[in-house]
Amino acid sequence: MYTLGIDIGSTTSKCILLQDGEKIIGKSLFVGGMGTDSPERAMDSILKSCELSAGDVARTIITGYGRKNFQHGDGEVSELTCHALGGRFVFPELRSVIDIGGQDAKVIILSESGRMSNFVMNDKCAAGTGRFLDVMATILQMDIGDFDACAAKSSNPASISSTCTVFAESEVISQLANGVQREDLIAGICASVAARVSALARRAGVTPMVCMSGGVAKNGAVRRALEQSLDMTIEVSPLAQYFGAIGAAIYAHRQVVKETR
């Protein structure tokens, strides 16, 4: 049985095709989230690459910020549920998920059996999210994918004192003008995101095993700063950005199994 999970975020659209609830047979990611044609493109692309048609898929479940506005699914489920399911699929011993996406950050705490026992979310302020990093990448005229390597060269991370993205933007511009090294600025920017998210994580009651999900998991500088701040190891999978979509595909499979029992 094939099930499809689609995660329509603020920044990207991700799809996962699952076979029998246990094997990932395809994935697709398109930049562009809600309000773009990326969700449809991601869905078409995954079906094409797996040589399947929509009729071969037993159920399609949608999650993410744009889940209510997508017409091609069979149902929707919250991102919290999906990130918890996706995280446990990849790391069976997982107890905490730190999800940093394009527009929000969430910390999800799981019981030993994998049930969600608590969560804390920041969806009100861009600081502490991928949006903050993207704004800074634009100012510095850099690719967000180069932040990690650049921050690794820093010996004296800059201190970013502004807690608001708009003020932090001016602060970074003036530090650049004052000759602060680019690598020190980037290390400081990543540390600032980590400081915000680690405060959320503490509030939620973060406990090992901890993993990151969402696109910012690809940013090693944020991960290392989080590890330092929380004094915990943080696991990262190459599938981190797909955890929501994986969870949605698992949820779809469980629904079908339950109904056919």
Q: Which residues pair with 235 in a beta bridge?
A: 211
**Angle, nearest 10°, between helix axes 165-177 and 130-139?**
30
Sketch the per residue contact string, 73 through 112, with ligand ADP: x for CB under 6 A, - otherwise.
----------------------------xxx---------
The minimum distance between CB 115 and ligand ADP, in angstroms, equals 23
d(CA 116, CA 108): 7
Q: Name which of residues 12 to 31 contact ligand ADP (CB under 6 A).
A: 12
Residue 224 near residue 197 (C-beta atoms within 8 A):
no
Residues 48-67: x where in contact with ligand ADP by CB under 6 A, - otherwise, as a string = ----------------x---
Q: How far apart are CA 53 and CA 125, in angstroms?
A: 40
Interface of this chain with ligand ADP, residues 175 to 194, rule: CB under 6 A: none
Q: Are 8 and 67 a contacting pair, CB within 8 Å?
A: yes
Contact (CB, 8 A) for 130 and 102:
yes
Structure tokens at 172: 């970074």
Q: Which positions from 107 through 136 interact with ligand ADP, judged by CB under 6 A?
A: 130, 133-134
By CB under 6 A, name the one of 5, 26, 86, 214 that touches ligand ADP: 214
- Residues forming contacts to ligand ADP in the complex (CB under 6 A) are 9-12, 33, 64, 101-103, 130, 133-134, 144-145, 147, 214-216, 218-219, 241
